[in-house]
Amino acid sequence: LLLYTTNTNISHSDLRRRCVLSQEEYYGCELLLADRDMVEQQADEILKGCGVSSGCHFSVVGACFGVVATTHTLVLRALNAGIQYRVIHNASIMNAVGCCGLQLYNFGETVFIVFWMDTWRPESFYDKIKKNRDMGLHTLCLLDIKVKEQSMENLMRGRKIYEPPRYMTVTQAAEQLLEILQNRRDRGEELAMTEDTVCVGLARVGAEDQTIRSGTLQELASSDLGGPLHLMIISGHLHPLEVDMLKLFSGSEGLKTLKMTDSSTYVS
């Protein structure tokens, strides 16, 4: 969302409240939906609305300086143009995942799992999961979102025709990981995880119908968590309190693949 306003008397706390409500009548101005292309390619046009007597407010979903560098680019261009900025921090999935019971300081590098295509089936995210697992750390897996994507034909012909939105599910992510495990097994590699590794699937975090499911990777590959947005966590070493929390979201079988290595550590 991009917000232009000439009312500089609106406090930041009031602006934040109005952003949550997300209705133009509360702002008293027009809201403009800005996709990534617009922010990256038309940043100078956006910043023209940020004069001395007017304010330019840029709202994002999640962390202001989160997973992508789009916001960083806009801030740097603003500063180069002599425009000051102030950050109003937002809720983020990077800390909201704590709702599943895993301790946030036990997470390693976050990975992004993309939709595979017929001619492009990357496995690089698995190597990062392996690195985290080797250190006993959990891995937060952000799942692919395809919005305003063009087919190859429309892209080559320069036609602004977009494919229907697609959102990767936990099931799809788990299926891709299972295939990667088989590929690595066939190549004789030592695996970072197995089909029995305990994972967590989350859907619509923060919503009233939020869903959390813990179980093995194999179990998550056949779990239906409902509508988007989804994400998945690959567990590392688990503290007993983390295990107790995960059992709240497991099936009737519990988490039987967990093994205790010492009095304070479980692995799978």
Residue 89 is assigned to a ligand binding site: no
Exposed / middle / buried, residue 13 (Cβ in 10 Å: 0-12, 13-18, 19+): exposed
Residue 57 is assigned to a ligand binding site: no
Sign of the CA dihedral running 152, 155, 159, 165: positive
Exposed / middle / buried, residue 244 (Cβ in 10 Å: 0-12, 13-18, 19+): exposed
Residue 243 is assigned to a ligand binding site: no
Residue 93 is assigned to a ligand binding site: yes
Residue 200 is assigned to a ligand binding site: no
Residue 113 is assigned to a ligand binding site: no
Sign of the CA dihedral running 15, 91, 168, 150: positive
**DSSP state, 100?**
G
Phi, psi of 136 (to 5 degrees): 80, 20
Q: In sequence order, what are the residues at sequence separation of 6 or more whose Cβ sits closer than 8 angstroms to the Cβ of residue 105?
A: none
Tell me the C-alpha distance between 34 and 172, whole Å.
Answer: 29
Exposed / middle / buried, residue 146 (Cβ in 10 Å: 0-12, 13-18, 19+): middle
- 142 in Cβ contact with 110 (< 8 Å): yes
Q: Which residues make up each annotated binding site for S-adenosyl-L-methionine?
A: 68, 92-93, 143, 205, 230
Annotated binding residues, written as ranges, equal: 68, 92-93, 143, 205, 230
